[in-house]
Structure 1
């Protein structure tokens, strides 16, 4: 009988020990109710191993098998995916909001207003072609338009640079998280004896899970647990963490479009990380395909405006004539065919006219032909063009004495009069070479960054080419310039300059609204997954309070049980 009483005391002892573990776990849950990444823990209790008797088995109370996390692994993977999608969409959404902010910054004097003011000034000049005030107003409106283009391009570029800095930060963060996850893998394998131990390193696993969630916001990953307790982390088919080994992302920086461009690749495979989701892929898409795309469209508008306006401008003349002029643009090689000489605008086979204007006002037309048919290997170079002009204006063939002389200096074509009182002007250029070189043009530049007023026109608005002859009141070229406003020269002949910009703004608003909706929907999905996890793995203070009361009652009952057994033992001993 005494053996049975001592066994009863042992049963009570084991019960108190189990209750103590339960109380400790409950306290741990309450303490970490708001801790990031913490999963509620519970005590896995089971009946103790019974003892065999002749006619029955006697229970030995309760024993703690292990302390386990309450976790749904499928839900955890869903949360990783939802965080990656939300991180990606939030980044793109921010890029569109930044773009809208940039375009709205110019709302009082935006590009649309600047284009309207510019073409209104052109139309005003067409009605008053000899009015110096109308010419000055056009130059001023053109300068304002160019400044708006440059400001817009620079603001978008600054936004791209900020996004690129974010790419570098995200890449560094990913590398740090991968190293930390690999290190936790090592500690977990040691703590769990390579998966052989019954107990689990719950705290280390929670830390690893929290890091995995932070990582998933930056890059979409999947995680597979091994029997050793470590996890393999994948991004697509690339292994980023295996055991205690971490892959490294390689960040390389180039220079493009006036900013640093960071590329991120998996070091061992060279695969671009942009192929995967998450914030990092969103940043790269925002820099290149969102901000980069709209910058390209603004550049396209500026280039087409410069090219088309200058081409028409070179067909005419102003109220002032040239004594000397130098091309704004320099070629890369004066001996290269002009279409291979690094010019930004197209040149083609044809001719242009130089009008020699004598001191008495007499005009003589000289036609300069360019061979740019790409046949026979004898096409015109810049040096060849200078020679053709000199040949045309040579006083006596072979004399080397020119009325008007052309030469190439530093890759630029310079033309000047060698006869006192003699001037010259240009017209009827079918080749586009004057516009490409920046001679007799209104604008300079090739895109939104470089667009400006030709310095010659800026210093003397008399060079604004409103006429195509010296006849008083000739406004024919100004009318052609004004007509460019209504020509469909953009998007393969479907849009005018102004409608192109309006379509750009409309597309931006539509795409931004779509991203807003997608992000809102993804937030709902992410929050649903997080709420579901909270219901399963989160700590409920109410539930833990109930557990505390339960353990308290168990402790009281067990203590009473031990006291009774102890009284019985004392009674037995007193009988001896």
Structure 2
């Protein structure tokens, strides 16, 4: 009887194992189109023998099919892609600041228009110097002086609008930085929660931990798009997450990310820190790195270039203008307020706003003398930048060109990175993805094995009946 009992137990174990195999194959097929799903595999092992005889089969685990090296490569490339994608979007905004209409009409005060329209900063500079040329042609004209005053005001407002919009872009990036830090912390919390459940699911006999691990790894992948991270899987199935060598997740313990606000120029910007200690973390990838790079390096460079242009314009125009005489015979008047030497602060001297007769054309106060007006007009030809090789208009044109070049290079790098990321994802899907044909074949194998196991149980049952009838 003990032999028959052992045989029926072997049959029962085979039935259970094949049932699990059928369930796993069916689950794989059901999730063939589920994003982030890893193909499952039932691990079948021989049961411990008794008295030298086999005791059947058992399922020790339902594991995921993964390649940890490919996973690490995908996460690394995610960080590179996230950085470039964020930078490309930021550059699109900055290009718009320099090239798109900022107002509804060419007459709107302070509007920043494209260079090609003739009413952007380049156009404003050109019209300003043209107005002094018109004054040189008619040095006694009051209407020409009124035009100079208006063009000077529009030029100052254009500088201010550019400065405002670039700083607004910087502020928007700072807000996005804060939002993404909060998003990263939410992901870390959920990763820690899932981490805590994995060991009990894997080793506690409650079933497979594969669904939890898939969810956790998908969250880690989302995190890798925000901030560069590395991971290490532990023996108990949990994953330790690192950033800059600092542990962010260890089993269920989570170290949240924080922000330290620093003032740079007129802007308040955040630095990524470990919230518990305030220790600064170094960003090398992810969208947070892209934000940091544009917010803290590129935009300040553009603002500095605009300030340099405004400062040179104020200094050079005032130097020429203050040496001349207005219609009222007064000399020594600055055209621009001497205190306003940045793109934000440049403005026409309030005395000239009140009295255009102070606008100088003559070098000696004599009627018909136009030398100072010509000198101011000719400033457009003076090579005052880049070691005496660029005029003001060329300097600004180079700035706009630099923005465009950086945007184009970033877009090109982004597209190249997109291809690399897609290739890696395809390689990973070949490993972890579900093949419907393969799973259908597995179903047939498990079905036949189940039928054979059922036949074992039936035969042993018949043998039991025979033994009972003999008694």
TM-score calculated relative to the size of structure 2: 0.89
- The one of 59, 62, 72 equivalent to 1:77 is 72
In the TM superposition, what whole-angstrom CA distance separates every residue of 1:246-270 from its partner, at most 9, and x where no partner exists? 2232323355555542232234564
Whether 1:546 aligns to 2:441 is yes
Partner of 1:203: 211
Give the length in aligned residue pairs.
455
The answer as to 2:313 corresponding to 1:318 is no
| Match of residue 426 from structure 1 | 331
- Counterpart Cα distance in 2 of 1:271 and 1:515: 31
Partners of 2:387 and 2:314 in 1: how far apart? 17
Does the residue aligned with 1:485 lie in a helix, a strand or coil? helix
* Alpha-carbon offset, residue 3 of structure 1: 4.3
**1:440 matched to which residue of 2?**
334
Q: Does 1:290 align with 2:290?
A: no
Higher strand share: 1
Distance 2:29 2:283 in 1: 42
Do structure 1's residue 461 and structure 2's residue 356 form an aligned pair? Answer: yes
What's the CA shift for 1:496?
0.9
Partner of 1:510: 405
1: CA distance, partners of 2:318 / 2:276: 51
- Structure 2: unaligned runs, 5 residues or longer: 101-112
Superposition pairs for residues 278-357 of structure 1, below 5 Å? 278-321=286-329
**Alpha-carbon shift at residue 74 of structure 1 (Å):** 0.9
Check conservation: 1:273, 1:281, Cα contact below 8 A.
no
Find the aligned partners of 1:272 and 1:302 in 2 and give their Cα distance.
Answer: 36
Aligned counterpart for 2:459 among listed residues 564, 568, 572: 564
Q: Which residue of 2 aligns with 1:141?
A: 151
Kindly indicate whether the alpha-carbon contact (under 8 Å) linking 2:324 and 2:365 is maintained by their aligned counterparts in 1: no
**Structure with greater proportional helix content:** 2
CA distance in 2, matches of 1:111, 1:543: 65
**Is the contact made by 2:92 and 2:407 (CA closer than 8 Å) also made in structure 1?**
yes
Kindly state the Cα deviation for residue 274 of structure 1 after the two structures are TM-superposed. Answer: 4.7
CA deviation profile, 1:415-468 (whole Å, cap 9, x unmatched): xxxxxxxxxx334xxxxxxxxxxx532456222222222222223222111112
- State the alpha-carbon separation in 2 of the partners of residues 134 and 510 from structure 1: 39
Deviations, residues 108-141 of structure 1 (Å, cap 9, x unaligned): 2222222222222222222221112222222222
Aligned ranges 1:39-118 → 2 under 5 Å: 39-52=38-51, 58-105=53-100, 106-107=113-114, 108=117, 109-118=119-128
Q: Partners in 2 of 1:568 and 1:248 — Cα distance?
A: 65
Give 1:560 deviation, angstroms. Answer: 3.2
Tell me, yes or no, if structure 1 residue 250 matches structure 2 residue 258. yes
Partner SS, residue 251 of structure 1: strand
Shift of 1:310: 1.6
Deviations 1:34-93 (A, max 9, x none): 4443322110112333455xxxx5444322121111111111111110111111111111
- How many Å apart are 1:292 and its aligned residue? 2.4
Query: In structure 1, how many angstroms separate the alpha carbons of the residues matched to 2:467 and 2:458?
Result: 14
1:95–1:291 Cα contact (<8 Å) kept: no
Structure number with the bigger relative contact order (C-alpha 8 A, sep ≥ 6) is 2
In structure 1, distance between residues paired with 2:250 and 2:325: 73
Counterpart secondary structure, 2:331: strand
Shift of 1:569: 3.5
Q: TM-score, normalised by structure 1?
A: 0.73
Partner Cα separation in structure 1 for residue 268 and residue 390 of structure 2: 33
